Amino acid sequence: MPTAKPIIEVAETASPIFVPHGNADKELEWLFTMAECDIAPRSAFVASLAHVLPNESGDSTMEDRVEASHAQRTLLRWIQEVGNHDAGVLKAAYVARPWPLMLREELGRLTGVVVRLAAAEIGLPEDDRELDTLEQRTAIRLNEALACGSSTLVRLSHSASPLLRKAFVAYVRERGGSKKPVLRGIP
């Protein structure tokens, strides 16, 4: 039995699949996955057990946390400026979720957007917990479709890619362009 081509490879032959990159991608990844950890003060409990000097363990300083907080506020302001729809697409693409590994490896950054589009075909609930449950079930269903070689993922990735491209381009515009360096406070 011949092995199926990866969805991204199949999709690239028909139309390019957008893959975000650069400083804007790094900022969005940090905002949606690591910002809170970089802002929160570290517990003194571990340091008291280990007999280490302050900051010797690699913990951030107060200044690092202040810079991270300023970066977070700036990024959130830029996200608000792109509008609700594009902000929602960026959140779906960047928030870390426990997607099935095979699906995540296949779709990369598009995973959350594809899952949201597939869930929307069923109907999105108002309640956040119900939405999360629906998306997790949808991701499992899409993962099974991927294993079976279904064309559903190609169709959904073709729909998701322009949405992510538009949202990402709007964010890049708000941040002042793709050449602008990553904000201070983002490691």
The answer to whether residue 105 sits within a structural domain is yes
Q: Are 117 and 156 in contact (CB under 8 A)?
A: yes
pTM (predicted TM-score): 0.81
Query: Which parts of the chain fold into alpha helices (H)?
Result: 7-14, 23-33, 35-39, 44-50, 62-81, 84-94, 101-107, 111-122, 128-148, 152-175
Confidence band of 160 (pLDDT split at 50, 70, 90): very high
Residue-range definition of the domain harbouring residue 100: 21-175
The answer to whether residue 11 sits within a structural domain is no
For residue range 99-136, list pLDDT tens digits in order. 999 999 999 999 999 999 999 999 999 999 999 999 99
The answer to whether residue 183 sits within a structural domain is no
For residue range 85-96, list pLDDT tens digits in order. 999 999 999 999
The answer to whether residue 9 sits within a structural domain is no
C-alpha span between 171 and 152 (Å, rounded): 29
Helix (H, G, I), strand (E, B) or coil at 94: helix
The answer to whether residue 127 sits within a structural domain is yes
Total domain count for the chain? 1
